[in-house]
Amino acid sequence: MGNLVGRKRPHSIAVLGTCIPRKCGIATFTDDLCEALEAELDRSCQVAVVAMDDVNGGYPYPKRVKFQIRDSSLPDYLRAAQFLNVNQPDILVVQHEYGIFGGKSGAHLLYLVKNLEIPIVTTLHTILTEPTEQQRTILLELAGYSEVVVTMSLKGRRILQEIYGIPETKIAYIPHGIPNFTFVDPSFYKDTLSVDGRKVILSFGLVHPGKGFELVIKALPQVIQKHPGVIYIILGATHPHVIKNTGDAYRHSLHQLVNRLGLELSVRFDNKYVNLDELCRYIVAADIFVSPNKSPAQITSGTLAYAVGAGKAVISTPYWHAEELLGEGRGRLVPFNDADAMASTINDLLDNEQECNAMRKRAYQFGRQTVWKEVARGYLDLFEQVLGRSSLKPKSNYRDRSAANVVDRLPAPNLEHLKNLTDDTGILQHCIYTTPNRNHGYCVDDNARALVVTSLYYSLYQDKKVIPLTHKYLSFLYHAFNQDTGCFRNFMSYNREWLEKVGSEDAHGRALWGLGVTVRDSPTESIGSLATKLFTQGLPVLESFTSPRAWAFALLGLNTYLDVYSGDAGARRLRRFLSERLHNHFLNNLSSEWVWCEEISTYDNAKLPHALLLSGRRLPDAAMFKTGLAILKWLLEQQTAPEGHLSLIGNAGWFTRDGRRAKFDQQPVDAMALVEACVEAFQGTGDLCWIQEAGRCLDWFLGYNDLNLPLYDFTGGGCRDGLEAHGVNANQGAESTLAWLISLLTIFEVFAQPV
């Protein structure tokens, strides 16, 4: 950038971007830049942050965060501009990446910059050579409102001039900052990572499909043939936006690739977001750092900059920033999608220690100019020039003032398919693939399960967007209750005609289960009141029921209802009556060979021990709890394959007392029942083995089953209808989707760690 007239040292600086503890590379950059600027300034100069939020309520930010913007709320951008105009920092440094701002391609940001009365410097974290028309317009407008745009690569400067037509005088080059690493032997920290004596290959960063980690995994068999002690560590949590949009399918595909290649002992997934100190230990411990990104059009890579600055032997695919940083012998480039070339290059570096060390030294020496101290000085020098120039002209001429730990690997709950299945009446029973099938109408069973889902979800996330769904499902159950019989009807046609006067006992029990959970976790007082009224109206008929599953479902509802109305004497007496009846039913029928209360074990089996465990703990009744635990253990033993995964009893013949058992069709509701029962066993025993068992049962949905096929749809949030001999049933009906969601939410609930 050319010389600018005048100099003026800033007294206050504001930085707009994501911020720690949000898990985002730009958040780390923002935090590091602020720390470095503060270290170079005197104490009278303040560095404040305006933080972008992608979740309701934001994050527990440090004190330097002075204002928060909800990314999708346009008024927040305008209020942020007003806040900055009132407080008048000398300069605003915008960290720009299209995805962190609201609106299409992050267009909401323009409403902030248009209304600012202070100078802007914008750091561009993404520069596209083939932008959409809107992306191009946004970048050009942002550059127009900025005094200077900063690029972190020399190629970025050329692209801004040649493709966007931004003049050279408005572009500054300041490299990506790095910590001031000490040049030490990789073995120094290996013991702290439990890799002592092994050669370590490292990739790190937020995990998403563009990272290309599968390229290294595919290369490993050839590497291990020559260097059997090698271990490849993939460090980093899945990118939050990937989780939100497509789930954790990419990470699971990497796990499956590792298993298929037999590399379980040679690949380690450290699925976590680490602080700087811990990250430095990982980097120092690495013998080779690999950056196998898939796209050539990556203008900046913070992970690559860190590795080069730490003096690592670096191998990368030839994306733009890598070509720039790894020139002059500072690293090796391998072609995209070439596992053989990757394996050959890794082996060559491991075989040639002298060349590897020489490469490390060249990289480390090059990195000294990009430590954060030097980068901060570069920014401060730029700020002085900008302030000197901007002070020479009236603000009205340069600013547009137009108005205006078993759980960390799991997908986040995705309710999109649930919404897809729900219409004004309630939730439809079945789908043709992912499209609701109106021919089969509705049922109480599924609407009761849907109440459980929305109640659990609201309890965990306090997300009011699920309240309209809760109203629909509760309304369906209210309509289903027949005041004349005191029972719930079950099946309704698509034209809203009831197909029966009285539903099954099991459907009635499920309705009470859904209502009991809603009473406990109601999002509003009115919803809780209706659920309570309907629940109590459905109790009197229970004493005449003969179905053990109906007893069990009713007991689940009674126990959650009594969490709120513990003084309800009638409900307490009914709980004891049904609990003892279910317990005695087992005691009178089980034997050492057949630990079950019927001649045939069919569906939703674990609901029965779940009810015994829950009532045994709440009454309390130690013998009842012990029986429930024994039955659950037996069910798990009968449904565990020799390889260790869950192999559910199939509904094409069930499991009979004489030992005949159907392997298929396996149903999601049976996995759900086991998850819930295992969590209840943990609640009652405190033994973490039950959490592990619950996780194993949940893994059935994710592909750890007899066919190694996932039933969960990572993209749409639904669940396929079952595991059949030929594969998965591709239809994603209500029962299966709700079974998945209840299972997942139950795991999150017990850890009290919403993802």
Q: CA dihedral in degrees (318, 323, 326, 327; nearest 10)?
A: 130
Structure tokens at 35: 């720390």
The 8-class DSSP code of residue 130 comes to: S
- Give residue 400's pLDDT: 38
Q: For residue 461, what is the enclosing H or E element?
A: helix 444-461
Structure tokens at 618: 């709440």
The 8-class DSSP code of residue 563 comes to: H
How far apart CA 647 and CA 706 sit, in angstroms, is 6
Helix axes 734-751, 668-685, angle to 10 degrees: 20
Architecture of domain 12-177+373-397: 3-Layer(aba) Sandwich (3.40)
- Give residue 23's pLDDT: 86
Query: Quick one: which of 113, 122, 125, 109 has its CA closest to 29?
Result: 125
How far apart CA 232 and CA 362 sit, in angstroms, is 24
- All structural domains of the chain with their residue ranges: 12-177+373-397, 186-367, 416-751
pLDDT band at 459 (very low <50, low <70, confident <90, very high): confident
Architecture of domain 416-751: Alpha/alpha barrel (1.50)
Q: For residue 605, what is the enclosing H or E element?
A: none
The 8-class DSSP code of residue 358 comes to: H
3-state secondary structure of 310: coil
pLDDT at 423 over 80: yes
Give me the DSSP letters along 406-431: -STTSPPP--HHHHHHB-SS-BEEEE
How far apart CA 48 and CA 92 sit, in angstroms, is 9
**Mean pLDDT confidence for 497-506:** 95
Tokens 């029942």: give the residue: 673
The string of pLDDT tens digits covering residues 91-104 is 999 999 998 998 77
> Higher confidence at residue 514 or residue 240?
514
How far apart CA 612 and CA 599 sit, in angstroms, is 19
**Mean pLDDT confidence for 28-38:** 94
The string of pLDDT tens digits covering residues 655-683 is 999 889 999 999 999 999 999 999 999 99
Decide: 755 and 243 in contact? Cβ < 8 Å: yes
Structure tokens at 34: 């602020």
Decide: 736 and 721 in contact? Cβ < 8 Å: yes
The string of pLDDT tens digits covering residues 106-149 is 888 988 998 899 999 999 999 999 998 889 999 999 999 999 99
Whether 416-751 and 186-367 are alike in CATH topology: the answer is no
How far apart CA 78 and CA 109 sit, in angstroms, is 9
* Residue 28 one-letter amino acid: T
Rounded (5°) CA angle 149-152-157 = 60
**Mean pLDDT confidence for 247-276:** 92
- Three-class SS of 717-749: CCECCEEECCEEECCCCHHHHHHHHHHHHHHHH
How far apart CA 148 and CA 60 sit, in angstroms, is 31
- Give residue 462's pLDDT: 66
pLDDT at 754 over 50: no
Decide: 67 and 95 in contact? Cβ < 8 Å: no
Q: CA dihedral in degrees (262, 265, 267, 269; nearest 10)?
A: 120
Query: Quick one: which of 146, 74, 85, 140 has its CA closest to 116?
Result: 85
pLDDT at 205 over 90: no
How far apart CA 634 and CA 685 sit, in angstroms, is 17
Q: b vs e for 608-625, b when ≥16 Cβ sit within 10 Å of the residue's Cβ?
A: bbbbbbbbbbbbebeebb
pLDDT band at 393 (very low <50, low <70, confident <90, very high): very low
Q: What's the start-to-end Cα distance of the chain, in Å?
A: 44
3-state secondary structure of 402: coil
Tokens 């007082």: give the residue: 525
Query: Quick one: which of 487, 187, 476 has its CA closest to 353?
Result: 187
User: What CA–CA distances, in Å, run from 596 to 279, 422, 621, 690?
Assistant: 52, 37, 20, 21
Query: Quick one: which of 406, 400, 311 has its CA closest to 356?
Result: 311
Phi then psi for 98, rounded to 5 degrees?
Answer: -50, -40
How far apart CA 361 and CA 604 sit, in angstroms, is 63
Decide: 386 and 148 in contact? Cβ < 8 Å: yes
Q: For residue 291, how many C-alpha atoms fall within 13 Å in the half-sphere facing its CB?
A: 30
Decide: 729 and 721 in contact? Cβ < 8 Å: yes
3-state secondary structure of 709: coil
**Mean pLDDT confidence for 689-703:** 95
Indicate the range of 159-163, 479-483, 589-593 predicted with least confidence.
589-593
Collect all residues with Cβ–Cβ distance below 8 Å to 592 and sequence separation of at least 6.
none
How far apart CA 202 and CA 213 sit, in angstroms, is 10
Tokens 């398919």: give the residue: 417
Q: Which CATH class is domain 186-367?
A: alpha beta
On average, the pLDDT of the chain sits at: 91
Strand pairing of 600-601 and 655-656? antiparallel
- Give residue 409's pLDDT: 66
Indicate the range of 144-153, 399-408, 569-578 predicted with least confidence.
399-408
Phi then psi for 96, rounded to 5 degrees?
Answer: -105, 125
The string of pLDDT tens digits covering residues 345-385 is 999 999 999 999 999 999 999 999 999 999 999 999 999 99
pLDDT at 524 over 80: yes
CA 662 to centroid of chain Cα atoms: 35
pLDDT band at 458 (very low <50, low <70, confident <90, very high): confident
Alpha helices in 286-338 (DSSP H): 302-309, 320-325
**Mean pLDDT confidence for 545-572:** 97
